[in-house]
Amino acid sequence: MYRDPEAASPGAPSRDVLLVSAIITVSLSVTVVLCGLCHWCQRKLGKRYKNSLETVGTPDSGRGRSEKKAIKLPAGGKAVNTAPVPGQTPHDESDRRTEPRSSVSDLVNSLTSEMLMLSPGSEEDEAHEGCSRENLGRIQFSVGYNFQESTLTVKIMKAQELPAKDFSGTSDPFVKIYLLPDKKHKLETKVKRKNLNPHWNETFLFEGFPYEKVVQRILYLQVLDYDRFSRNDPIGEVSIPLNKVDLTQMQTFWKDLKPCSDGSGSRGELLLSLCYNPSANSIIVNIIKARNLKAMDIGGTSDPYVKVWLMYKDKRVEKKKTVTMKRNLNPIFNESFAFDIPTEKLRETTIIITVMDKDRLSRNDVIGKIYLSWKSGPGEVKHWKDMIARPRQPVAQWHQLKA
């Protein structure tokens, strides 16, 4: 009798049932393994993300640590301000973590760095703002009184960041000391040749000076640039009433120099433009106009004209001048002059612009001067750098005339 091989006994499972059971078992095993891997990944990624966030930190907290380390006061901690520029964030390499970072943390770091570099109040922005007002430098001095000997002691220590007054882009500074309102009796320091950061360390004594009179005086310091062949050029001044100083012991001060009040600050202004052509190796100077010029004649007016000198390494190379404008304190010139200047000589070149008062019967008077180079005053340096940064374009700027 024929028996179907696929027919099973009533108690034995069929082959299909066994196959389905095996598939279900394998599927469950794979599912369990995958779940375990997911939990493991989540723990690992969560730990890494947490570490990366701790490494990045917040910009404010990192900035606070950096500022504290960047501020270094010298011995005594009074004279020099070495605090960093507000908004500038110095970075300390030792604070950085060395463990690996995820792409998320790298992106956060990149964005944070860019935000800090572009944040308001950066050093570059402060530099542009500083160019708008002229820096005349500063001076350090000390003053005290000896009650037993009735002597006032004034010590001139040093100056920093003085502006250049000479053709060579430097100055020969010295200091005059007065006790105002007396201007007849003055004392002077030695001249420091070609030095924009001079050290004098000279002590001056006003002997036999009763304290009652000392507190009625004003200590007046005037910094000048020594000139052998013409009048000394004033650089700046400082004044301090002695009744506001504790003279029982030597007091040391840092004071910013201010424009001298002898009329040198009211000589007028000149508008001019500079155009640099690197391919032609030339600079075009356009004397546009002046305003509020100082009256040099008896009639309360002036006959101004402008001289333009091209200097190279303290040597006069070429001179040009405008026409004379009769009896005019606000003249309009609109005259251009071209000077050949090779690119390799540009750093050693200075353009000196002098506004003169024409006088038929005597020598012509100087109303004021402007020194244009990469190492003169802040306003002049800004104009010079703008000219180089924008070739073949006239760059115009107002300049205050100086003595």
Nearest to 370 by CA among 397, 391, 390: 397
* Cα 308 from chain centroid (whole Å): 28
Q: CA 277, 280, 285: angle at the middle one, nearest 5?
A: 50
pLDDT of residue 335: 96
H/E stretch holding 177 reads: strand 173-180
Cβ atoms of 159 and 140 closer than 8 Å = yes
β-bridge partners, 370: 353
Per the listing, tokens 């730990």 go with 47
H/E stretch holding 68 reads: helix 59-70
pLDDT of residue 190: 96
* Cα 275 from chain centroid (whole Å): 24
pLDDT of residue 334: 96
DSSP assignment of 336-373 equals: EEEEE--GGGGGGEEEEEEEEE--SSSPPEEEEEEEES
* 169, two tokens: 């882009």
pTM (predicted TM-score): 0.43
pLDDT of residue 185: 76
pLDDT of residue 14: 66
pLDDT of residue 147: 93
Q: Please name each of the domains of the chain with its CATH number.
A: 136-254 (2.60.40.150), 266-399 (2.60.40.150)
Residue 349 CA to residue 343 CA, distance in Å, equals 10
Q: Residue 164, Cβ neighbours under 10 Å: how many?
A: 21
Task: Collapse the DSSP code of 231 into the 3-class scheme (helix H, G, I; strand E, B; otherwise coil) and give the result.
Answer: coil
Which amino acid makes up residue 4?
D
Give me the average pLDDT of each 10-residue run along the chain (403 residues).
47 65 75 60 45 35 31 30 35 35 38 34 35 74 94 95 82 93 85 95 93 92 82 86 92 90 68 94 95 83 94 89 94 95 89 91 85 84 92 93 81
* 375, two tokens: 């190492």
* 108, two tokens: 């956060």
Cβ atoms of 264 and 234 closer than 8 Å = yes
Nearest to 288 by CA among 313, 271, 306, 311: 271
pLDDT of residue 90: 35
pLDDT of residue 167: 66
DSSP assignment of 243-255 equals: GGS-TTS-EEEEE
pLDDT of residue 166: 74
